[in-house]
Structure 1
Amino acid sequence: MIINNVKLVLEQEVVVGSIEVIDGHIESVSQSLSQLPAAIDGELAYLLPGLVELHTDNLERFFTPRPKVNWPANSAMASHDALMISSGITTVLDAVALGYINDQGGRIENLERMIHTISESQLQGNNRAEHFLHLRCELPNQDTAGLFESFVGKGSVAMVSLMDHTPGQRQFVNSEKYRTYYMGKYGMNEQEMASFEAEQTLASKKWSHRNRLSIAESARARGIPLASHDDATVAHAEESASLGCAIAEFPTTIAAAQASHDAGICVMMGAPNIVRGGSHSGNVAAKDLADIGVLDILSSDYYPASLLDAAYQLAKMPSNDYGLEHTVQMVSARPAKALSMHDRGSIVAGKRADLVLARPAQDRLRVDQVWRQGKRVF
């Protein structure tokens, strides 16, 4: 297969040219156009590497589309996978929560069903994107370490993150933001919310530190990349570095992000933060981290289409001098490298032909075609 007459988004530049694909891998990259009549004409659209998503909560909305509604697993997975691939995402880490702080959303009930479905659908070749597991470990919970050991051997776990959503720290330094978020999410009244806050604070004191150490040690022993979550201080970043974290998910302050970056930890922020112009929790804006050069990776988090949108919009912002070749690395080469997936993430001869053809449409790039390992999947 030859894809011709495209703007190739390479790691260092964007050039007009063509690529040749053989047996699912990129055979050659050329800055000249092919004269072969069978070549696919890209009509000067952008050709990007397939996007690599490290943290998406998107699967849950299909397994539980409404409260108390459990959707058939294979149908839910197919719908989720279709949304990923149509967003240009060819490698997906599906984030599932262990030891979640409230089960009103059906997460614990659905946990084993989701993990089994992700793994089986991938093994059976039913997915268009390639799916892995991301185990999100909510630390202030008695059951978290046990759940982790139960599930870490099931399916292909590509990443483990260490979370603590206790009020008054990390993501929710502002307790009022915490109350607004959880009262809205779970429909609690003032009395129920006060009780909930007290329970979470007590559980954090009892379980968070010990779970952080034991899960980190277990993940390191298995060679699974570790991520911190919502680091807010330099001390948090230093602790994450001491645990061997490769990724800092969603640091909430410039100080924490800078300390993580300086320690060689890849700083990851939410793509919705870029698209919306700031954090929904009132924390540091991803744009501000990009402007000072400490933003390494973007994640779509809760909105898959935001990943490519954010890369495109960030490249157009006058506050930085990033080109599209730089911002696309944040959603492809850099997340792949952080996971030691060296076979993907950039348009280079020898790498997998995970490719996205997209063209500008107002303030975003519209995905027209997607290939995974040389096979067209969208």
Structure 2
Amino acid sequence: MSFVSRRTLLAGAGGAALAAITPGAASAASATTRALSVRGADLSFLPQLEEAGVRYRDLAGRVRPAEQILAREGATHMRLRVWVDPPDGYSDKARALHLARRAKKAGLQIVLDPHYSDFWADPGKQPIPASWPKDLPGLVRKIRSYTRDLLRDFARQGTPIDILQVGNEITNGILWPVGQLYLPDGTQQWPAFTDLLKSAIIGAREAAGDRVRIMLHIDRGGKMGDTRWFFDNIETYGVPYDILGQSYYPMWHGSIADLEANLADSAARYAKPILLAEISYPWTMEDGDGRGNIVTDPSTLPDLAQFPATPEGQAAFYERIRQVLSAVPGSLGLGFLAWEPEWIPGVGWEPGAEAPNDNLTQFDFTGHALPSIRAYRHP
């Protein structure tokens, strides 16, 4: 996810609350829910937040590291963002390696999210790292060696990667303009884009063989037509992958019914496990740092009557996500990753900026866990 592109999208867009999810209700829900093998979160901002003085408390009020709180609730995976040469303190390789060691200590497997960029990459921007080549042959070589070396570095310290997503929300390509999928003049660069993907995947296989699962990740959770267009072309150009990854934010990607329809269609059409690689939902419409948030209008939530922007409504949303994934045909609903559920006020999206997602977290503004963390439980 990138809050910048989401803010742009919002600028251009012109019954009753469900009961709180109690331990008893969670047990009842689990009786009809197939076990999801991936239940986790992207916690890439966690070290910076701790350095800013943020502390986290579990549902009983005990202070613990955020990854341990989620693991104790049943989480299985931590997703880690990696930028090539970001601003000081942000998610570079060294920080990701350190956080991977913490993930292993907590019993979590790792989903690695290299953006192949110096900073935020998403459907609205995918800039080439400043130090990388600017031509297609050079980038094909570079993305292969970079991916290979990255995975080897994680393996060497005893934290091998379980799932590698090749780029972040690559709906419109990677490494622009060379691998930009849709150019301003309408040209579609599928051969260049898919050559880059294939080269990165070769690098991953050189480092980890078949032990690493390859995910291709787009941001079209409830949009069937867009999903078909992207993955039909991926199949046409012969890009090998193991997992179909989607971002699903209902304020931008449609209703739960839209999500259900798209996941069912993708399962039948591509026969691949499907991971909701990014999800989140507001627990309030208040602003924790008083500097502006992306999601401020409850009317943008298509299922607001079912899932109000309250702690209880957020918990009900995550329970519904579990049910949707459990019902994907062929048992192809792999699981979900909450996006930065720990990103409460304390660290900006860039140095000196605000935290624009602090009402989409699974901890309140003071670091106390919200009921939605029970969604990590097994089964």
Q: Which has the higher contact order (CA 8 A, sep 6+)?
A: 2
How would you bin the TM-score normalised by the shorter chain?
0.3 to 0.5
Structure-1-length-normalised TM-score = 0.45
Higher alpha-carbon Rg: 1
